[in-house]
Chains A and B, each alone.
Chain A
Amino acid sequence: MEINEKIKNLLNENDICLFMKGTPDAPQCGFSMAVSNVLKHLNVSFKGINVLEDENLRQGIKKFSDWPTIPQLYVKKEFIGGCDIIKEMFEKGELKKLFEEKKII
């Protein structure tokens, strides 16, 4: 399970991982852009991982999280959700709270 190892390494090395289409500076999908913008707005540094560059990773992360869509946000190795959940958490102030609880901000 080489791809799972790769995913685990990414999660171990980065407090906030966003598996996305495109990059934070050049997102290639509206949903990925929305989550990336939320993170920028909250002023947290995060690792954007472009799944379009690696088909193995694109399929692998869906299995790993048991979640069928991209983007996917992980904070300190915990899967937080996809675009809808992140947007909702952001609007309710819950995302900021989560970052505070996890001592990111």
Chain B
Amino acid sequence: MPLPVDEIKKLIKDAIPDASIEIKDLMGDNNHYAAIIKSSKFNNLSKIEQHKLVYKSLKGKMGNELHALSITTEGK
């Protein structure tokens, strides 16, 4: 079950309200995405913690419905 871009954005926004999110559907198949996410919530967190915040916002979908989401995070 692929996950559409808008739904991914909404999940991340719900958990990280100030996030600016850019998502590319790499292959046009609703299954391989690359996301660039900027949020002040990432300030002073390690990369691992930043990525964990994003994974948590996706509520267990990462690695399941969502096979491939490459993540780049930045503070702001």
Contact between chains at B63 and A79 (CB < 8 Å): no
Interface of chain B: mostly helix, strand, loop or mixed = mixed
Given A62-B63, A68-B63, verify A82-B72 contact (CB < 8 Å).
Answer: no
Let me know if B28 is at the binding interface, CB within 8 A: no
For residues 33 through 76 of chain B, which have their beta carbon under 8 Å from a beta carbon of chain A? 47-48, 51-52, 55, 60, 62-63, 68, 70-72
Interchain residue pairs with CB less than 8 A apart (13): A31-B68, A62-B63, A66-B52, A68-B55, A68-B60, A68-B63, A69-B55, A70-B63, A79-B48, A80-B48, A81-B51, A84-B70, A89-B47
19 further A-B pairs in the complex, CB-CB below 8 A; given A81-B48, A85-B48, A89-B47: A31-B68, A62-B63, A66-B52, A68-B60, A68-B62, A69-B63, A79-B48, A80-B48, A81-B47, A81-B51, A82-B51, A83-B70, A84-B51, A84-B71, A84-B72, A85-B47, A85-B51, A88-B47, A88-B72
